Structure 1
């Protein structure tokens, strides 16, 4: 049976969108409760937000035919989505907001479009790292940091296994000191 074009497909998209929106809203609520000193309520909002994420994921998997795609495909899809946002959607939203006299909102659309452009660049660079097999191997020595324990290794390749905590290579990233 084909889901495409069915009322059930429409309902799945509506449910996915609704769960995604409420997840973000609950995340905002958790942050506010935390700021106000209500730690238990913040934790409950966050737990519920995490539950809503899982509901959205279940609906999304039906929509895409079963499972989340491989990272390489996801990076390309994400880059294309960011491209659309910064080159089409947000410029149009900015134009409309300006025409309607909402200049502050228009400015925010413009500024966020710039962020989305940076997101696109980042996703494309990460995709290139996978294609070029340079995620865990670089042409020149760099410092690799284990994201689990903080161990730092210098070399052209991240260790297969962290000698400090025994976590696999997937936990390594190039060390970028920004302090």
Structure 2
């Protein structure tokens, strides 16, 4: 039987991943600036304020989304966990996760300030400060969960296919023996 805590912790981690993916998507879109040293870039006070506003606009409501994800996961575990423990998780998960979420958001702030120009940040804030922008930000967070699940499925399928083909070309059993101190595996 699967450990119900493993499933719950996966859901909690998923919530963090969703937030990270949502916040990092615009940052990843500017990968051409990767080589630029953060320390050498002077960031204007206005860019810092714009970054704070951008993060406020794009992460608002994350507590509600996390609570919803956790509640859904806990509902599926109702038969496998005592009610008292379920109640504890419902009451404490978001409270305990919040400082970690805040640290994640803060860690992205410097990168956002470095990668985006002031004009780009003004455009982002201008967009996300509209009703449409707020709706899209909320949907991006929701989609992050689905995207994460799809990526997990993709990764498992891909890695299984890759390793099946790799072990078809090389003797994986012999490689395991070699790692344990036996003879060198032969190429098939």
Same-fold status (TM-score > 0.5): no
**Greater relative contact order (CA < 8 Å, ≥ 6 in sequence):** 2
- Larger Rg computed on CA atoms: 2
TM-score, normalisation: structure 2:
0.23
TM-score, normalisation: structure 1:
0.24
More helix by share: 2
